[in-house]
Structure 1
Amino acid sequence: MFTFTKSRPKAKTPTTLLRVEGERAYPRSDYLATEEPLEIRLVAQEGEVRTVAVTMRTPGHDFELAAGFLFAEGIVSHREEIRRISYCTPRGEAQQYNVVSVVLNAPRLPELAPFERHFYTHSACGVCGRASLEGLHRRFRPLQGGPIVSAHLLPDLPHRLLARQALFGATGGLHAAALFDPEGVLLALREDVGRHNAVDKLLGWALLEGRLPLSECLLLVSGRASFELVQKALAGGVPILVALSAPSSLAVDLARAFHLTLVGFLRTGFNLYAAPERIRV
């Protein structure tokens, strides 16, 4: 069972190690990307409480992570459905910074059977295995419109991303997700040990700031494009998803089904897998 810390965890953790170069070995200090559990609880006005997820994450922007997760999973649809978000404070105890309570503007919790998942997930897998293409067709419609982005702009975006990745610079062990406008201006960036968490933090930011849908943005992710990341892009109304690495077969199928522009293997060039008309070559 996880131990939930009562002191605020930091995004990076100091460590000591033995550095080996050729025949020489010497001690040195470094930082690790912190990975700790976050329990997300739903709370109704009449006091009903339900844990909906425990995910491994890098501490920081926890409220955005909780809000973005609930939004991406379809449990909440609008900012007004959330009354407040706070760290858990049991009676007579100190705050627990690895437990977040999301209080809804509703007397009772919504029916959670369609979202049933009392699960523990590691930071890399996201929320896997629930959503089917049929279920997503009931929830989303194919994306229409969206910006036209110059192909010459895309290869420069990873450099703009890396320049703003402070935690990656310190630890070398974090994924990043960023929102850009059609001219390549960085709007928001979030880092986490899990790429799914990084995207959820962005969605939570957009939800809480009243910026949804993100129909004039493109989403850049530092790893591969999975089915779950395409699903999250669809939830946010993002028309263009760009990944530095490969997409999965199901990610491509989903992007094509919902007319989402999917770019992979972004280097000096890139591969276009779906809805290429939003990229001006």
Structure 2
Amino acid sequence: MIKEFKINKVVGFGKENFSKNDNLAIEEPLEISLKIASKTGIHPLSVTMRTPGNDRDLAIGFLFTEGIINQKSNLSGKISAQVEENKLIVEFSSEFNPDLQKLKRNFYTTSSCGVCGKESIEAIKQVCKIPILKPETSVKMETLFSLTEKLLNVQKTFESTGGIHASALFDLEGNLINYREDVGRHNALDKLIGSELLKYENEDFSLKNRIVLLSGRASFELIQKCAMAGVPIICAIGAPSSLAVETAENFGITLVGFLKNGNANIYCGADKLDLNLENEN
């Protein structure tokens, strides 16, 4: 979603300025609350700043990647209700009764949070239920090089604003399966994972044999979310952080950064890739 603003455009180091309309990505808060059959009342869980749209995907993806739910059957048939603008309630099934005290989220978002890399990785391992499996076939580098353009071709909000992130899901042949956009890179990924979980009818949800492409940098929390969903290969157009690489390595995830213009840095997991270019003899 976008909103139009009138701005003063300055060009040529101040030699010229003029008025024009500019499109910006909308950013608004979303309050996520829970309804649990065995507990009375509604229980607020989190407030996140996001781009409105696909709010149910965002809420479900957030609950899954934070280890609060494990599968679609944890949700009621109704799943969620948008009680008012920017407020959403997720309803759990009558058989699913999580401990509310365990729903308090630990935020590992900055290098100044005081949590070391080892502790962060171990925290994920305690809640991650899905093993990272090696894909059935090695992924060709030509396939990876094609992903960025395919994402840009469908990123309509980015084309209009230049200020929004995206996460995209591809199969091992490079076919685009799904994508989501948001002002927050973690929200875009939660929306993507949540939408895939809601489509999945079996108990053993996993994004095995899939590639995730991140439109920006690969931070720790994005690797964590992909690990929770069993993603074996993560590509980013930007750079990874050191903790992102360490996390990917610990979970057996292939992490590729700076994927653009026919170039790529493979930080770990090169064994899942076919590095032989087709035009080589």
Contact 1:42 1:109 in 2 (8 A): no
Is 1:75 the equivalent of 2:33? no
2:252 corresponding residue in structure 1: 259
Partner of 2:273 in structure 1? 279
1:103 aligned to which of 81, 87, 91: 91
- Match status 1:85 vs 2:75: no
Match of 1:44 in 2: 36
Query: What SS does the aligned partner of 1:54 have?
Result: strand
Mapped contact 1:43–1:50 kept (Cα < 8 A): yes
Match of 1:270 among 255, 258, 264: 264
Superposed counterparts of 1:150-189, under 5 Å: 150-189=140-179
1:116-170 deviations in Å (ceiling 9; x for gaps): 1499x9xx97xx8887222222333652221421011212211110010011111
Question: Which runs of 4 or more aligned residues in structure 1 lie more than 4 Å from their structure 2 counterparts after TM superposition?
Answer: 128-131
> Quick check: 1:60 aligned with 2:53?
yes
- CA 1:17–1:231 in 2, change beyond 3 Å: closer, same or farther? same
- Cα distance in 2, alignment partners of residues 63 and 222 from structure 1: 22
Distance 2:181 2:237 in 1: 15
Give the letter for the 2:215 counterpart.
S
Instruction: Return the offset for 1:112.
Output: 3.0
Relative to structure 1, is the Cα distance of residues 107 and 210 closer, same or farther in structure 2, using a 3 angstrom cutoff? closer
Show structure 2 runs of 5+ residues with no match. Answer: 276-281
Q: How far 1:227 sits from its partner (Å)?
A: 1.0
Alpha-carbon spacing, 1:206–1:155, altered in 2? closer, same or farther (3 Å): same
Gap change, CA 1:129 and 1:175, over 3 Å in 2: farther
Identity rate, percent: 42
- The structure where helix makes up a greater share of residues is 2
Q: How far is the alpha carbon of 1:48 from its aligned partner? A: 2.9
- Could you tell me how far apart the structure 2 residues matched to 1:230 and 1:129 are? 19
Flag the 1:76–1:142 CA change in 2: closer, same or farther, 3 A: closer
TM-score normalized by the length of structure 1: 0.86
- Secondary structure of 1:157 counterpart: helix
Q: How does 1:116-195 map to 2 (within 5 A)?
A: 116-117=104-105, 132-140=120-128, 143-146=132-135, 147-195=137-185
Q: Is the 8 A contact 2:133 2:230 kept in 1?
A: no
State the distance in 2 between where 1:263 and 1:118 align: 27
Q: TM-score, normalised by structure 2?
A: 0.86
Q: How many residues align?
A: 259
Q: What per-residue deviation string (whole Å, max 9, x for no partner) do you get for residues 172-206 of structure 1? A: 11000000011111000100001100000011011
Report deviation, 1:109. Answer: 4.8
Amino acid at match of 2:22: D
Other structure's SS at 1:143 match: coil
Structure 1 unaligned residues grouped into runs of 5+: 1-10, 89-95
**How many Å apart are 1:236 and its aligned residue?**
1.0
Instruction: Give 1:27's match in structure 2, choosing from 13, 16, 19.
Output: 19
